[in-house]
């Protein structure tokens, strides 16, 4: 019987490929964080120099803070909208089906396309809001404007998650509540929300990790500016490595990014008592 089963060789190409281009880079980035490298020559070990420098780098600390603000505000903006629109779109009415097919349109655009579109839209002299706020040009609101763009891009995805989950809630629960005379709001609070709790966790992890690693949107929209108002951690890493040619130091920042991302996913899952993550969800 066992000879009829596929040999382990069937898995070797996939595993090998993944080991070479995903696992090896993860190990290499740790190694590189202990080297000095300008991107051209050979990386040379320099002990813990990058790490002690990182501890004293006020720009890095500021970019961690901006990243946290971006994560929290994006979560606060996106979750209620995605939840409400998703539950609404789960209804069987024809009008809802038609509208939800429009709601998903932003998903078709690449990040680059979305960033360029919004940049034109918010342009202070010829955009759609001439005479309004400066948006991306105002250091006080540039980061929140980035949140707006990110939300426009990603709410449709999370809506899709909530729509699917809301459709899976057993209708009998609502019928029983209706017979008991429950109001619409109370049904939402006492049936829909508890039934969607795993989806809320999944969606939140994806949102938080997604904002932690936001990169291309900000690079195109502001390149970290005005000044350093939107220079978040991944962008700080990119600019340090590929514009400042300090690849070793940038690798140390990359390690921080990995640690933060992993800690964040674990914390949300632990805090919400959700253990089935590895078998069901997660992603990029």
Partner 1 sequence: MKSRPNWPAGIFALVWLAVVVGPLLYLVTVSLRSRAEYLGKSVWEMPDALSLDNYVTVLTGGFGQYLLNNVIVTVATVAIVVLVTVPAAYAVVRNTSPFVQKGFTLLLMGLAIPAQATIIPVYLMITRMQLYDTLTAIILPTAAFALPVAMLVLVNSLRDVPRELYEAQAIDGAGPLRVLVSLVLPLARPAIMTVVVYTALNAWNGFLFPLVLTQSESSRVLTLGLWDFQGQFGTNVPALLAAVTLSVLPIFAVYLIGRRFLLSGLTAGFGK
- Considering only residues 1 to 60 of the shown chain, the ones binding partner 1 according to CB under 8 A are 1, 4-11, 13-15, 17-18, 20-26, 28-29, 32, 37, 39, 43
Q: Is 121 in the site for partner 1 (CB under 8 A)?
A: yes
Selected from 56, 94, 126, 273, the binder of partner 1 by CB under 8 A is 126
In angstroms, what is the minimal distance from the CB of 17 to partner 1? 6
Min separation Cβ 84 and partner 1, Å: 6
For residue 173, with 0-12 CB atoms within 10 Å meaning exposed, 13-18 middle and 19 or more buried, which class applies? middle
* Contact pick of 50, 63, 202, 222 for partner 1 (by CB under 8 A): 202
Give me 122's structure tokens.
């918010």
Nearer to partner 1, 8 or 180 (CB): 8
CA geometry: angle 98, 100, 102, nearest 5 deg: 80
- Count interface residues toward partner 1 (CB under 8 A): 99
Min. distance of Cβ 257 from partner 1 in angstroms? 5
Span 86-115, contacts to partner 1 by CB under 8 A: 88-89, 96, 99, 101-113
Omega within 30 of 0 (cis) for the link into 226: yes
User: What angle, 0 to 180 degrees and rounded to 10, lies between the N-to-C axes of helices 111-121 and 142-167?
Assistant: 130
Q: Cα-Cα-Cα-Cα dihedral of 90, 96, 102, 107, to 10°?
A: 0
Is 141 strand, coil or helix?
coil
Q: Which of residues 131-170 bind partner 1 (CB under 8 A)?
A: 152, 156-157, 160-161, 164-165, 168
Nearest-approach distance from CB 66 to partner 1, in angstroms = 16
Cβ neighbors of 174 (< 8 A, separation 6 or more) are 187, 191
263 burial level (CB within 10 Å; 0-12, 13-18, 19+)? exposed
Q: Of residues 179-198, which lie at the interface with partner 1 (CB under 8 A)?
A: 184
Q: Choose one: 44-52, 53-61, 137-145, 236-244; the region binding partner 1 (CB under 8 A).
A: 236-244
Nearest to 274 by CA among 201, 195, 205: 201
Number of CB atoms found within 10 A of residue 79's CB: 17
Site string for partner 1, 206-225 (x = CB under 8 A): x--x--xx-xx--xx-----
Of residues 45, 72, 120, 267, which one binds partner 1 by CB under 8 A? 120
Tell me how far, at minimum, the Cβ of 195 lies from partner 1, in Å. 13
């Amino acid at each position: 019987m066992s000879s009829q089963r596929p040999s382990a060789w069937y898995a070797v190409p996939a595993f090998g490929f993944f080991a070479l281009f995903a696992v090896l880079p993860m190990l290499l980035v740790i190694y590189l964080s202990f080297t000095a490298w300008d991107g051209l020559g050979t990386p040379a070990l320099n002990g813990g120099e990058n790490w002690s420098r990182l501890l004293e780098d006020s720009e890095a600390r500021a970019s961690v803070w901006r990243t946290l603000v971006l994560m929290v505000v994006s979560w606060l903006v996106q979750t209620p909208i995605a939840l409400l629109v998703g539950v609404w779109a789960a209804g069987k009415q024809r009008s809802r089906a038609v509208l939800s097919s429009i709601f998903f349109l932003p998903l078709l655009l690449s990040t680059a396309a979305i960033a360029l579109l919004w940049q034109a839209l918010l342009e202070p002299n010829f955009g759609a809001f001439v005479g309004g706020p400066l948006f991306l040009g105002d250091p006080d609101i540039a980061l929140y404007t980035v949140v707006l763009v990110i939300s426009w891009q990603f709410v449709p995805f999370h809506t899709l998650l909530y729509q699917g989950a809301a459709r899976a809630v057993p209708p009998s629960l609502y019928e029983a509540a209706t017979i008991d005379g429950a109001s619409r709001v109370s049904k939402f609070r006492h049936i829909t929300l508890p039934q969607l709790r795993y989806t809320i966790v999944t969606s939140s992890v994806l949102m938080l990790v997604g904002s932690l690693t936001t990169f291309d949107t900000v690079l195109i929209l502001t390149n970290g500016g005005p000044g350093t108002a939107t220079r978040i951690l991944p962008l700080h890493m990119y600019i340090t490595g590929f514009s400042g040619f300090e690849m070793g130091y940038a690798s140390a920042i990359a390690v921080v990014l990995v640690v933060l991302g992993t800690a964040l996913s674990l914390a949300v899952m632990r805090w919400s008592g959700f253990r089935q993550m590895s078998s069901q969800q997660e992603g990029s």
